[in-house]
Amino acid sequence: MHRLELELHHQRILVGELTLRDNVTGAIKWQYARQLLTEEIARSRRYNYSLSLALVGIDDWPSVVERIGREAARALLATAGETLVRSLRNVDRVARYGASEFALLLPSTPLQGAEVAVERACGEVMRRTQLVVRAGIVHFPSGATTNEELMSEAEAALQLARATGLPIASQRLLEKQAPSEDEEQKPIEKS
């Protein structure tokens, strides 16, 4: 009887994991990752440690799908997800965020450490898939106080990387682009 209960317990765990994981990439689903991000932000506040978040996106995904076909594109996406998972630490989480994007949760990782880890992981994805990937990286604590604000900053960083052609854009670049409060409040001088 005990063996049967143990087997049933393992089956429940397996079913639970299957519902949390994306069936194409093996990464966790964003719905679950959003909950993890909220928990990590709370833990970061409580224990005063850094948390970094990266959004990794494949460039021009619709053209890739059109050029090589849906099945081949799914295989490349699966390789990209698997590569990201294997390139990061066991405590890091990789989530499928969109059609061709992944969110990377990097607990206890300051921005500089995240830049190194994400650059290495993206380089490995590009080497294995021949796809161009870009990333936007932010960290907590910063100006953002909720997971929605942190995600919004990460999306802005990814968009900056795509717009400028940079492989990675971090929060530091976003801060350099944003006008300071002094600049915003300066009156415009008329000549």
Q: Is residue 31 part of a domain?
A: yes
Q: Is residue 67 part of a domain?
A: yes
What 3-state class would DSSP assign to 179?
A: coil
Give the model confidence (pLDDT) of 34-88 as tens digits: 999 999 999 998 999 899 999 999 999 999 999 999 999 999 999 999 999 999 9
**Could you give the percent of the chain with pLDDT greater than 70?**
81
| pLDDT at res. 182 | 46
Length of the chain in residues, anyone?
191
Q: Is residue 35 part of a domain?
A: yes
Q: Is residue 9 part of a domain?
A: no
CA distance 9 to 24: 25
Confidence class of residue 19 from pLDDT cuts 50, 70 and 90? confident
CA distance 157 to 138: 8
Total domains in the fold of the chain: 1
CATH of the domain at 154: 3.30.70.270
Give the model confidence (pLDDT) of 102-119 as tens digits: 999 999 999 999 999 999
Q: Is residue 5 part of a domain?
A: no
Q: Is residue 13 part of a domain?
A: no
Q: Is residue 189 part of a domain?
A: no
Structural domain boundaries, residue 125: 22-177
Is pTM beyond 0.95 here?
no
> Pick the residue with more confidence: 11 or 59?
59
Q: In what order do the strands lie in the sheet with 168-170?
A: 28-29, 93-96, 101-107, 51-58, 133-140, 168-170
Q: Is residue 3 part of a domain?
A: no
